[in-house]
């Protein structure tokens, strides 16, 4: 068949257009077979000592889910960003993930400062944030699934135990200077006084502060017989080292912490923490086949035979499975569908059964207390027999029979009362 010049150019243009369009079509087809989620923790900065492990645990859960067939028959793809240990950066990266990348769900944040920084993004855009860290409570967002401990799962067991079991009644409260330590101190003071103890000081140093000589001197001269630590990040290491360097010992004056985990113990050296205590729902030392298998899988995943697991890491891991169950129940990946379906979801986590409560999107967890040993592991010295219902407003009188945070939102009238 003969072809004139105009026919030739027209046909060539059509073929060229098809050649250009084909990769785009393939990309869209590939995208249709994946579900993208955001992952936003600090890869750099002072908090990266902990937060890189939260990224790893999230990636590990995603890898396991993908190996088992994915979610709704699709593979899950993590879009990872770095919060750089800076609340402003967290806000910028959350905006990128939610607005620019249009991701309905993001697994994110370690500190309350970073959570508060990103919260307006999720609430305004009606996206879903899964937050894995133990926190101070006093929050009730319809756009956040809280999978870490709240004060009634971390302090309501700890303070009475310190007073009644350890026989320590004079508390020196010390923390990093931001919302989590200050709010935890408020709860602690109520519980200390309620249980017949007293607090002799409530002191703070900036997040990341490394010079602890003056503060430890204050502790020594305060007359306290126990230190309640809400110190966070790199500062934990500097604090414990200075504590021992000044001749203080945990057998006489124990540090009882709400933050110090296996990862900080490994970073500081176990000898600085031996005899001190921490209250968490999860410890690597939980002696069950499920947890031992989890620890081994994690070490293999990060290619480090000495890697440690800890509470926020475990929550980062199991919350991906809770998201999966919500998506599969809803048969929908949208934030609205996930948030509507996630309440009531349970999962057999490494530390035991966890359940997202429908009433407040916080998670029922099992409180535990451990004493740190010479091998860097915690010996569990007290544990509840079953998970405890989460009460983010327990310091303000909230009970399971009188909830302040409900599916309708925060009942501010109760809060004021």
Composition of the chain by helix, strand, coil, percent to 5: 45, 20, 35
Cβ atoms of 70 and 77 closer than 8 Å: no
Q: Which residues of 140-174 are buried (b: 16+ CB within 10 A; e: fewer)?
A: bbbbbbbbbbbbbbbbbbbbbbbbeeeebbebbbb
Residue 71 lies in a domain: yes
Residue 9 lies in a domain: no
Residue 303 has a CB neighbour count (10 Å cut-off) of 7
Half-sphere exposure of 239 (CA within 13 A, CB side): 32
Dihedral (C-alpha) 375, 384, 410, 336: value to the nearest 10 degrees? 70
Which 8-state DSSP code applies to residue 168? -
178: CB partners within 8 A, 6+ apart:
111, 112, 113, 207, 232
pLDDT at 28: 36
pLDDT at 12: 41
pLDDT at 17: 40
43: CB partners within 8 A, 6+ apart:
51, 52, 55, 80, 82, 83, 84
List alpha helices for 80-157, DSSP H: 87-95, 112-125
Domain total in the chain? 1
In total, the chain counts a number of residues equal to: 417
- Coil, helix or strand for 157? coil
List alpha helices for 173-268, DSSP H: 179-194, 213-221, 234-245, 262-268
The two three-digit tokens of residue 133, written as one number: 């860290």
The pTM for the full model equals 0.89
Direct distance between the N- and C-terminal alpha carbons of the chain, in angstroms, rounded to an integer: 90
Residue 20 lies in a domain: no
Residue 216 lies in a domain: no
pLDDT at 30: 38
Task: Please choose, from the candidates 328, 191, 347, the residue with its C-alpha nearest in 3D space to the C-alpha of residue 256.
Answer: 191
Residue 134 lies in a domain: yes
Task: Please choose, from the candidates 86, 85, 83, 37, the residue with its C-alpha nearest in 3D space to the C-alpha of residue 61.
Answer: 37
Half-sphere exposure of 222 (CA within 13 A, CB side): 23
Residue 98 lies in a domain: yes
Give the residue numbers spanning the domain of 141. Answer: 33-150+289-366
| C-alpha R_g of the chain | 24
| CA dist., res. 404 & res. 413, Å (int) | 9
Residue 261 lies in a domain: no
pLDDT at 32: 65
List alpha helices for 195-310, DSSP H: 213-221, 234-245, 262-268, 289-302
Please give the chain's pLDDT, 417 residues, in tens. Answer: 334 433 433 444 443 444 443 333 333 333 568 999 999 999 999 889 889 999 999 999 999 999 999 999 999 999 999 999 999 999 999 999 999 999 999 999 999 999 999 999 999 999 999 999 999 999 999 999 999 999 999 999 999 999 999 999 999 999 999 889 999 999 999 999 999 999 999 999 998 889 999 999 999 999 999 999 999 988 999 999 999 999 999 999 999 999 999 999 999 999 999 999 999 999 999 999 999 999 999 999 999 999 999 999 999 999 999 999 999 999 999 999 999 999 999 999 999 999 999 999 999 999 999 999 999 999 999 999 999 999 999 988 999 999 999 988 998 888 875
Half-sphere exposure of 82 (CA within 13 A, CB side): 8
- CA 161, 165, 167, 173 torsion-angle sign: negative
Residue 265 lies in a domain: no
Cβ atoms of 163 and 195 closer than 8 Å: yes
- DSSP per-residue codes, 386-412: S-B---TTGGGT-BTTB-SEETTEE-H
- Coil, helix or strand for 13? helix
pLDDT at 31: 52
Where residue 59 sits, what CATH number does that domain have? 3.40.50.2300
Cβ atoms of 52 and 118 closer than 8 Å: no
């Amino acid at each position: 068949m003969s072809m004139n010049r105009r026919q030739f150019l027209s046909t060539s243009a059509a073929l060229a257009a098809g050649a250009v369009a084909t990769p785009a079509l393939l990309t869209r087809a590939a995208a249709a077979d994946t579900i993208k989620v955001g992952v936003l923790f600090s890869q750099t900065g002072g908090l990266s000592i902990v937060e890189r492990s939260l990224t790893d645990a999230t990636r590990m859960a995603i890898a396991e889910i993908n190996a088992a067939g994915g979610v709704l028959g699709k593979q899950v793809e993590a879009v990872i960003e770095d919060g750089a240990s800076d609340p402003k950066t967290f806000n910028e990266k959350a905006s990128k993930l939610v607005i620019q990348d249009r991701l309905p769900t993001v697994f994110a944040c370690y500190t309350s400062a970073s959570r508060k920084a990103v919260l307006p993004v999720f609430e305004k855009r009606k996206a879903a944030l899964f937050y894995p860290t133990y926190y101070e409570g006093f929050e009730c967002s319809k756009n956040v699934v809280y999978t870490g401990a709240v004060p009634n799962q971390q302090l309501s067991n700890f303070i009475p135990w310190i007073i009644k079991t350890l026989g320590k009644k004079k508390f020196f409260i010390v923390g990093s200077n931001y919302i989590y330590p200050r709010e935890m101190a408020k709860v602690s003071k109520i519980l200390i006084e309620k249980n017949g103890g007293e607090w002799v000081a409530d002191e703070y140093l900036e997040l990341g502060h490394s010079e602890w000589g003056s503060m430890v001197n204050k502790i020594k001269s305060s007359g306290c017989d126990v230190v309640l630590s809400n110190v966070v990040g790199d500062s934990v290491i500097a604090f414990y080292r200075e504590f021992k360097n000044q001749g203080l010992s945990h057998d006489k004056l124990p540090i009882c912490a709400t933050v110090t985990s296996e990862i900080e113990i490994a970073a500081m050296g176990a000898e600085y923490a031996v005899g001190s205590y921490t209250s968490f729902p999860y410890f690597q030392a939980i002696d069950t086949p499920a947890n031992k298998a989890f620890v081994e899988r994690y070490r293999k995943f990060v290619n480090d035979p000495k890697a440690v697991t800890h509470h926020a890491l475990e929550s980062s891991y199991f919350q991906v499975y809770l998201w999966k169950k919500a998506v599969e129940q809803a048969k929908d990946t949208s934030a609205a569908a996930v948030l509507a379906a996630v309440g009531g979801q349970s999962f057999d986590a490494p530390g035991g059964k966890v359940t997202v409560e429908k009433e407040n999107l916080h998670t029922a967890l099992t409180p535990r207390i451990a004493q740190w040993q010479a091998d860097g592991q915690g010996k569990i010295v007290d544990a509840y027999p079953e998970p405890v219902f989460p009460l983010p407003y327990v310091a303000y009188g909230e009970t399971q029979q009188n909830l302040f945070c409900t599916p309708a939102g925060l009942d501010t009238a109760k809060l004021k009362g």
